Amino acid sequence: MSDRRISGFKPTGPLQLGNYAGAIRPLVLGQDRPTVAFVADLHALTVPHDPERLRALTLQVAGLLLASGLDPRRTILYRQSDLAAHYELHYLLECAASYGEVHRMIQFKEKGGGSGTRLSLLTYPVLMAADILLHDIAEVPVGRDQRQHVELTRDLALRFNERHGPVFTVPRATHPAIAARLGDLADPTAKMGKTNAATNGVLFLLDPPDVLRRKIMRAVTDAGTEVAYDPERKPGVSNLLELLATCTNGRPEQLAPDYPRYGALKTAVADAVIALLEPIQRRYHELGTDDIEQALAQGAEQAAERADATVRRVKAAMGLTSGRPAPSSTPETPRTAPARH
Ligand code: TYM
C-alpha cells in the first residue's frame, strides 16, 4: 500500500508562518517517506492575477520550500502547470463531481458569487482532488483550512472506485498537533494568510528580523495578565504560545508557565521566530534562479511517469480508450507540458 505524501502551495502571495507551521514543517520532517511537493500555480489563476507577479511568486515559493529543507534528492518538487496530467485528470474528475458539492465549498462561498467570478474558482476543488489522486497518495499534510478539500477528494475517489473499479488510492488529511490554523497576530480569531488585506499581523518568511519583531511585539493579546494556554478564552496569547511551540519544538501548555507577563512571552516569540527564519532566509538568498528552475524541471520529469500512468488508468476505466494495452513497440515517454522560455 502507498505511504506517499503530497502537499501544494498556491503562489498568490509570499509564504507566511502559517504555511510553514501547517504544511512546510510537517512535509520537511517526514521526508523519510516518499514525498511530493508542488507549487500550485494553476490554483493561482482562480482570482484576478498578474502574470509577471505569478511567475516571480512561483519561483519564490519553490525557493523557500528548498530553503526550508525540502531535499530534491529525496522529494519530488515541481511546478503544477508543467505537468499535463493535472489538466487532464481535472476534467475527467469533473465528470465524477456534482455542481452541488463544489458549490458548497468555503472558498467559493467567501470569494465567489458575482457574475465576474472566474468559473475556475468554482471548479478548483476538483483540480485539487486531481492533484492528489494523480500520485497514489496516502496522506496529505495540510493546515486545517484544507480539510474540506481533502474530504471532497476522498468522496470523489470513493465514488469513482465504486463506479469504475479500484483506480484510486483514497487519501486522508493530516494536520500538525499544534498551529494547524495559526491566527493572524492582529486578529487571532482570523487565519494568518498570505493574501490578508492587512499585513501587520502576518509574519512572512522573508520579512527582515526588525519587521518580524515589530509585528510580534504589537500582537493583540487578551484581557488579564496571566500567560495561559486557553484558545477559547485567550486566543491571542494561545496563538503566540502555539507560534513559540512551533519554533522551539515545545508544547504550548508547558511553555506558558515560563513567562510571567505578556511582554516576556512576546520577546521570546520574536527571538524564536527570528532564529527559525534566519537560516531559511540565508539559504533562500544563496539560491539562484537557475538552481530553482533546475530542481523544478527535474521534479516535473520524475512526477510525470506516475501521473501519466494514473491518467491512462482513469481513461481506460471511463471507456475513453480502446481498452487494449498500448503497443509495446511504442514505449511512451512521460509527458510534461511544453517548457516555457
Ligand atoms: P495555500 O497555498 O493557501 O496554503 C498552503 C498550506 O499552508 C497551510 N496554511 C496554514 N496552516 C496553518 N495555519 C495557517 N494560518 C495557514 N495558512 C495556510 C494550508 O492549509 C496549506 O496546507 N488549495 C491549497 C493548495 C493545494 C494543495 C493541493 C494542497 C492545491 N492542491 C493538493 C495539498 C494537496 C491552498 O490553497 O493552500
Q: Say how many C-beta atoms besides its own lie within 10 A of residue 109's C-beta.
A: 10
Q: How far is residue 254 from each of residues 85, 238, 244, 258, measured CA to CA in Å? A: 46, 12, 11, 8
Q: Distance (Å, rounded) from C-alpha 64 to C-alpha 80?
A: 16
Ligand 1 geometric centre to CA of 146 (Å): 6
- Per domain, the residue ranges of the chain are 5-180+288-323, 209-285
Q: Is 298 exposed, middle or buried (0-12, 13-18, 19+ CB in 10 A)?
A: middle
The Cα-based distances of 43 to 86, 107, 171 in angstroms read 11, 12, 20
Give me ligand 1 centre to Cα 47, in Å. 16
CATH superfamily of 5-180+288-323: HUPs (3.40.50.620)
Report the chain's C-alpha Rg in angstroms: 21
Active-site pick, 10, 109, 194, 266: 194
At residue 38, does pLDDT exceed 80?
yes
Is residue 297 scored above 80 in pLDDT?
A: yes
Ligand 1 pocket, residue 146 CB under 6 Å: yes
- Express each pLDDT in 271-284 by its tens digit: 999 999 999 999 99
How does residue 328 score in pLDDT terms, banded at 50, 70 and 90?
low
Q: How confident is the model at residue 195 (pLDDT cuts 50, 70, 90)?
A: very high
Closest Cα to atom 19, ligand 1: which residue? 143
pLDDT bucket at 326, cuts 50 / 70 / 90: low
Q: Whose CA is nearest to atom 14 of ligand 1?
A: 18
Q: Is 182 in the pocket of ligand 1 (CB under 6 A)?
A: yes
Q: Does the structure show a pLDDT above 70 at 225?
A: yes
Q: Is 266 a catalytic residue?
A: no
pLDDT in tens, 88-124: 999 999 999 999 999 888 778 787 778 889 999 999 9
Q: Is 270's pLDDT higher than 70?
A: yes
Sign of CA dihedral 57, 105, 173, 139: negative
Q: For the domain 209-285, what is the CATH code? A: 1.10.240.10
Does the pTM surpass 0.85? The reply is yes
pLDDT at 133: 98
Q: How many helices (H) and strands (E) does the chain have?
A: 13, 7
**Same topology for domains 5-180+288-323 and 209-285, yes or no?**
no
194 belongs to the catalytic site: yes
Contact criterion met (CB below 8 Å) for 83 and 40: no
Q: Which triple of cell numbers denotes residue 198?
A: 492587512
Cα(18) to ligand 1 centroid in Å equals: 9
**Distance of CA 309 from the midpoint of ligand 1 (Å):** 26
pLDDT of residue 106: 79
CA nearest to 184, candidates 315, 8, 9, 17: 17
> Is residue 213 predicted with pLDDT exceeding 70?
yes
Q: In testing the pocket of ligand 1, which one of 64, 135, 146, 204 has its CB within 8 Å of the most ligand atoms?
A: 146
Task: Please give the mean pLDDT across all residues of the chain.
Answer: 94
Cα of 48 from ligand 1 centre, angstroms: 19
10 an active-site residue? no
Task: Say whether pLDDT at 329 is over 70.
Answer: no
* Percentage with pLDDT > 90 across the chain: 89
Q: Is 7 in the pocket of ligand 1 (CB under 6 A)?
A: yes
pLDDT attached to residue 1: 74
pLDDT digits (tens, 9 = 90+) for 147-176: 999 999 999 999 999 999 999 999 999 999
Distance between CA atoms of residues 84 and 304, nearest Å = 8
